[in-house]
Amino acid sequence: WLLCAVGGASLGLSFVTFFEAVKYASLSACAVLVNMEVLFVALITVAVFRQRLDGRKWAAILIAFGGAVIIALADGASGGGSNALLGDVLAILSAVLAAIYTVAGSVCRKSLGTTVYTCLIYFFAMVAAVVPVMAGGTPLVGYGTVNYLVVLGLVALGCAKVTLQGKMSRSHVHGPQDSIWFNALLFAAIAICLAVVFPMAPLDGPALGYAFLDAVCTVAFQTTYALALLAGPISLTTLT
């Protein structure tokens, strides 16, 4: 429970710090910096779980961190926002918090079922996100019934997706071929639902080509990442 509380609170605060970051720095810089999460995951697992990294992996970590520092300094010097350097620092803090969530979650999942894990993590994430928002004076009421219903719908859909995906993958995904089919069907179903809810104008040939290429890359990434998590330590997987 304590580890779930730490992981959930870290997840909630990572969202808060990221949305604060984009108020000050450019969105492109924040997006790059927040993806330093994988590096912090590697560092945490080395420090806490005593996993060993060879010289090449340490070099990769240092190069990536150096690149993040260059981006932050360049963003501040170029006037990327009202206070770009502060925004970059908040984005890096968001990455650290997200890394704590990832590591804590990986430990919790070993002893908790998908449903219990999801409920605990997102409950603590909600509490951690609401407290600073309220402390900052942002009202939680007055946004209209439709907006509240949309939020509740998103919560329900998110929980259902995580629960069903976890149970289906545990029961029916036993190798690369199963993983490919599972992810392909999952993203196809999401695309169909989005097309029904948000009808769009017909796409031209190039747009369809880019969309197809993006879909293939997304499924390939999800498949190989899932297989990597099964095959090796978390810190080595996240370095990819």
In this prediction, residues 20-30 reach a mean pLDDT of 81
**pLDDT exceeds 70 at position 212:** yes
How many separate helices (H) and strands (E) can be counted in the chain?
Answer: 10, 0
Angle at CA 223, nearest 5°, toward 219 and 182? 75
Instruction: Give the tens place of pLDDT for each residue, 27-41.
Output: 777 877 787 787 788
Closest CA to 97 of 124, 71, 118, 62: 124
pLDDT at 239: 42
pLDDT at 236: 43
Mean pLDDT of the chain: 75
Decide: 98 and 30 in contact? Cβ < 8 Å.
Answer: no
Burial state string for 191-220 with b = 16 or more CB within 10 A and e = fewer than 16: eeeeeeeeeeeeeeeeeeeeeeeeeeeebe
Instruction: Give the tens place of pLDDT for each residue, 124-154.
Output: 888 898 888 888 787 878 888 888 888 888 7
CA dist., res. 74 & res. 80, Å (int): 9
CA dist., res. 106 & res. 3, Å (int): 10
Decide: 101 and 14 in contact? Cβ < 8 Å.
Answer: yes
Burial state string for 143-158 with b = 16 or more CB within 10 A and e = fewer than 16: eeeeeeeeeeeeeeee
In the numeric block, which tokens belong to residue 85? 């350097």
Q: What is the largest CA-CA distance in the chain?
A: 56
Distance of alpha carbon 160 from its chain centroid, rounded? Answer: 17
Decide: 169 and 182 in contact? Cβ < 8 Å.
Answer: yes
Torsion, CA 97, CA 99, CA 104, CA 105, rounded to 10: 110
**pLDDT exceeds 70 at position 160:** yes
The residue that leads in pLDDT, 41 or 235, is 41
Instruction: Give the tens place of pLDDT for each residue, 96-106.
Output: 998 888 888 88
Instruction: Give the tens place of pLDDT for each residue, 44-85.
Output: 888 887 777 777 777 777 777 777 667 666 655 555 555 778
In the numeric block, which tokens belong to residue 84? 């770009």
Separation of first and last alpha carbons in the chain: 30
Helix axes 55-77, 84-108, angle to 10 degrees: 150
CA dist., res. 143 & res. 224, Å (int): 41
